[in-house]
Structure 1
């Protein structure tokens, strides 16, 4: 039996506010126009970009030929004893495959980090059984190129033909496509160039790594196909139109944050995928929707969302949720893509560009080109045990770490948000994630958590282009064993620090408060930071 795909607006006031927006979307025939890939839906300024970004509406049909190609390659690899898939990709190139494989319970090692420890863990796997999927739409993603270089060297040192273990997913004509051809890589999958990264879950970017890992990607396309006609209908029962109207109505009333909690959907990590879709699509021109992914519906920030946020259940409606969305994974991919694109129309922005993402990349590149700027010449404003403090701390700099954090948290704007940005090892430093709930509970502010540089490819756009009411807590850490990037004049730790400092610089230059805590001893420093946060009182 096909699982029903629904959007239920359980908050009566929100339902009333959304109704006129929904009626207008229906009367303007927005859903059918979107399916027909009408580029004028977002206004004249967005038309040029939209005209080359709408092929995702029919991917449940156009991606079908990939199924056979993926299965044939998987069979080939397994016949050679290669059954471990490592994915090197950032943002849209990694988030969907991670959700797909996590939901189906098949193993996929995802590298969306510049942390040397996490990359070393991936290298420590059985290389004899390993194939690397190098996934980049532009073909120039610095993190992904670094992973490719590191693995190519590791394969060669192990006596393995690196080219036979390299599988590429990229756009036609990209530098990566040209490199793959010249190097004779095992297989190149060219994705549809008329689909942006955050809408690419059902393209080769989502399907190839997930399918090679063993996920049933044909079923995923079937799930999307099963809801496609409903999402194309100009009807008030269209769940995508209902969700778009609810999000826009909430935003109009001052709830510019969307708190996402899984309530029993059976989908692993859907919020992390939706986070990029929402933040990059809407967070620009000083407006937008900030996604806040929480641990559960009982976590701080969901049932007590407050007037500046809308609690959205991924799964059945629960106490505290204002909206709930249910359905299979393939259906929800397509539903949310439709809803966010339509919400962009209601917010008056172009959902397909990301004008502020490049700023942090440029700043990081400038720092990489100037090693002196990364050589430790910046003096900390305070050193408290294994934690170096960087940023304006006032009188708190002579006190405890709790004093420093209290001053920082007290400075968060009314109705603003806290963003914790951890440039650490997502596996070995996983305890850092507790900071989100602890800070949310003690500050009373909506709080997000992102692993750096992963979040730069998702919420990074909103941080710089969305509502100007965020405060940013960066956490960096000392690296015990670094990894050189072959053919490049830097190591992973240098790149990681450049990304943190570059993004922090851009945020500070635009008037956003930034506090960086550097852990000279990661384990001890992280324990001290968590303890200091727990000592805060509201």
Structure 2
């Protein structure tokens, strides 16, 4: 059974004992895999009817394997061995965890930062681009496609033979890609939402082209599905879902840590799955991705539940208020998808809609259309410009003062969200601020790279409980990349995305401190020092 196992303790075990017998009695698992849209109540039925294809993805996706392997071999015979994925949210995070776990290279372009875009546009002589989007209208992926078409043509390469598209059948991108004569168009199951799409064409095409063993992935998923569809109290999907959404009182900060599991980046994938599925209607559970030794693992606040990803031979968890889960990558993906469906029912929300994701997109479009002048900084401290309302800043004119003012507004049951809108490959050191702020505040801290987090935790920030304070970090650069046939550049796009999200958060009465680094290197160093001095 795909080596899937789970143990729970404390309030997590109490939730399992309290909730799973009812779920079994009501045949939740078998109804889920029979694609029963009534499991989340009448208000959710319409959306659920068109979102449950993920339950059979392992079987439905099987015919794709031969096509993907053949295309990879064809590319290799032409000297094309480097693959770039332009995608956002689940359609990029799933291939990233699959390829990183298998140790094969895939450049995941899920940013509009011009420095990261420029990195992606290298080695074009041996590069193919995979564009993944259900509709093709996602601004990040469409902009990346346009940039690659222009770069290929400038290099004397036939762009149509280097672009592979993954999209829903009949979508605008499906039609335009076929008209453009792109190398290959793969259609995904339209009845699967992006965050549940790991085992569909969205997860398999880029992973398989990069060299991952996608046939084994589907074998493991199919085996796990047999167990996860059973109405049995040992069903790990039911047990995990009960722990995520059924604690009393609700432990709504889910701290996810890898404690020896042979999967790389799984917590980031689980973060977008759980946050976007549950964070709405003023409720939800917030995933917090941490490393071993993180402050959240020590403080163990009353609203924190720890979920440890462990190796197959790990001892059962005996820690307070914790869950430990192990298994193959595909089996754990399936288990977390089932658990998210369970948690949605327990939280009385629709796990398949995303009512607040569009708000940031709309604000971005309005800003790009109007091209407003940037708002002046309230103050400049060294290499950092400070912006925020008077209510947030409380008269602060230095970075340490501004950080203190923001943290002073952190509720007892709150969390800190750090959002960095720039190149996550070149400036990964900024993530060091996360455990520092967690240590200083004694509260969970999330870290998201913009704009990709807008397609995951961004839903929770607006639709979930009003518990957060938000630190937005943007950065100037001398680098910019034009977007062909579009009246704005990547630099202007990422700036508008940051401005738009800050506006929506402010409109939702969330406290937002905005720091713009006028020099990336000096600014990152200054910000880390300011956080450490809190």
Structures share fold, TM-score greater than 0.5: yes
Which residue does the alignment assign to 1:504?
502
Using the size of structure 1 for normalisation, the TM-score is 0.96
Question: 1:210 and 1:398, CA in 2 relative to 1: closer, same or farther beyond 3 A?
Answer: closer
CA drift of 1:507 comes to: 0.5
Which residue does the alignment assign to 2:276?
280
Which residue does the alignment assign to 1:360?
360
- The CA RMSD over aligned residues, in Å, is 1.3
CA drift of 1:132 comes to: 0.2
Residues 259, 305 of structure 1: 8 Å contact kept: no
Using the size of structure 2 for normalisation, the TM-score is 0.97
Aligned pair count reads 528
- Verify: 1:302 aligned to 2:301, yes or no: no
Alpha-carbon separation, structure 1, partners of 2:387 and 2:454? 20
Instruction: List gaps (5 residues or longer) in structure 1.
Output: none
- Verify: 1:519 aligned to 2:521, yes or no: no
- Verify: 1:150 aligned to 2:136, yes or no: no
**Cα distance per residue 1:99-146 (max 9 Å; x no partner):** 00000000000000000001111112x111000000001211100000
CA drift of 1:342 comes to: 1.2
Which residue does the alignment assign to 2:183?
186
CA drift of 1:44 comes to: 0.7
Which residue does the alignment assign to 2:388?
391
- Verify: 1:325 aligned to 2:313, yes or no: no
CA drift of 1:3 comes to: 4.8
- Verify: 1:266 aligned to 2:262, yes or no: yes
Find the partner of 1:59 among 57, 60, 76.
Answer: 57
Alpha-carbon separation, structure 2, partners of 1:75 and 1:163? 18
Instruction: List gaps (5 residues or longer) in structure 2.
Output: none
Alpha-carbon separation, structure 2, partners of 1:293 and 1:321? 17
Residues 2, 224 of structure 2: 8 Å contact kept: no
Residues 149, 486 of structure 1: 8 Å contact kept: yes
Which residue does the alignment assign to 2:6?
7
Matches within 5 A, 1:21-40: 21-40=19-38
Which residue does the alignment assign to 1:400?
398
Residues 245, 342 of structure 2: 8 Å contact kept: no
Which residue does the alignment assign to 1:478?
476
Alpha-carbon separation, structure 2, partners of 1:268 and 1:320? 26
Matches within 5 A, 1:191-340: 191-250=188-247, 252-296=248-292, 298-315=293-310, 316=314, 322-340=322-340
Matches within 5 A, 1:416-495: 416-495=414-493
SS of the residue corresponding to residue 58 of structure 2 reads helix
CA drift of 1:167 comes to: 0.2
SS of the residue corresponding to residue 94 of structure 1 reads helix
- Verify: 1:160 aligned to 2:157, yes or no: yes
CA drift of 1:14 comes to: 3.0
Alpha-carbon separation, structure 1, partners of 2:151 and 2:134? 24
Which residue does the alignment assign to 1:104?
102
Alpha-carbon separation, structure 2, partners of 1:301 and 1:163? 49
SS of the residue corresponding to residue 363 of structure 1 reads helix
Alpha-carbon separation, structure 2, partners of 1:379 and 1:228? 54
Alpha-carbon separation, structure 2, partners of 1:505 and 1:144? 23
- Verify: 1:128 aligned to 2:125, yes or no: yes
Alpha-carbon separation, structure 1, partners of 2:35 and 2:524? 48
CA drift of 1:18 comes to: 2.9
